Structure 1
Amino acid sequence: MLSKKTQYAFHALVYLAENIDKGPILISEIASEKNISIKFLENILLELKNAGILGSKKGKGGGYYLLRPPKEIQLARIIRLLDGAIALLPCVSLNYYERCENCKDEAVCGLNEVMSKVRDATLKLLENKTLKDILTKER
């Protein structure tokens, strides 16, 4: 399940994409339009900036803006950045692997096998979907 943080990030990114021609957008505008707490949104946008997804400009005419076109911002990247693993179990995660506490042998674990297939299908979809796909649906 996506965290509120990640959901808000997608809402903010979509708003920035919808208003890409306006230039930098103030946090207060995004927060107001998307009904997100300014403090919470500040932290989210800072993480996206530090990851190279957003740029920012200070002073008059300042705010946040997308560094790349929406078609180049993969949904999987945003989810991993803000929520961590996409896999439903730590033992099938590609980037955040951990052995499950109660598993005796992953090689014969039926749950591991099924969840690996779920992970693969989910990743295939999320790595091929971008911010543009969300934007297109909302227009």
Structure 2
Amino acid sequence: MLSQQSRYALKALIHLASRNPEKPHPTAEIASACNVPRKFLEAILLDLKVAGLVHSTRGKLGGYSLARSPQSITFGDVIRVTDGPLALLHCASKKFYRRCLDCPDEQACQLRAIMIEARDKLSAVLDNRSLADAMNGGAGGILDDQTAPLET
């Protein structure tokens, strides 16, 4: 499930992308516009800065701006920063691979094979949807707090 941290990060980045992306926007403005708690947003923006997705500018006219174009920042990029790997198991992750300690034969493990397939399908969507897509209505309302819950 997408964490609240990821939702807030995506909302903040889409806000920056939909304004003048090169101009610094104060944290308070972003928090207010996105209905996100300011202190929580500050921590999220710091993580995004360390990951190279935003720049920060100090001073009276300072704030945060996108470090890359909205077309080049994908949902997958953001979620990996805020939530970690897309894969459900470390042994199925491309970027955060770690062998499972309880698995005697990784190559024969059916659980791993299915989790790799799931990772690939999720990655195919998230790594091909950008902030620019979301600005153009391509996010399908997933960031909207009013979205109806999915039936499971």
| Matching residue of 1:46 | 46
> C-alpha root-mean-square deviation of aligned residues, in Å?
2.0
- Identity score, percent: 43
| Matching residue of 1:116 | 116
Q: CA deviation at 1:102?
A: 4.0
Whichever structure has more helix as a proportion of its residues is: 1
Rounded Cα–Cα distance in structure 1 between residues aligned with 2:51 and 2:82: 10
Higher deviation after alignment, 121-130 or 97-106: 97-106
Rounded Cα–Cα distance in structure 2 between residues aligned with 1:52 and 1:134: 20
1:10-89 alignment, distance < 5 Å: 10-20=10-20, 23-89=23-89
SS class of match (2:56):
strand
SS class of match (1:55):
strand
What letter is aligned with 1:37? P
Rounded Cα–Cα distance in structure 2 between residues aligned with 1:18 and 1:61: 19
- List gaps (5 residues or longer) in structure 2: 140-152
Rounded Cα–Cα distance in structure 2 between residues aligned with 1:27 and 1:10: 14
Higher deviation after alignment, 18-27 or 40-49: 18-27
Runs of 4+ in 1 over 6 A off after TM superposition: none
| Matching residue of 1:97 | 97
Check conservation: 1:27, 1:63, Cα contact below 8 A: yes
Rounded Cα–Cα distance in structure 2 between residues aligned with 1:21 and 1:82: 21
- Distance verdict in 2 for CA 1:29–1:118, change over 3 Å: same
- List gaps (5 residues or longer) in structure 1: none
- Distance verdict in 2 for CA 1:79–1:21, change over 3 Å: closer
The TM-score with structure 2 as length reference comes to 0.81
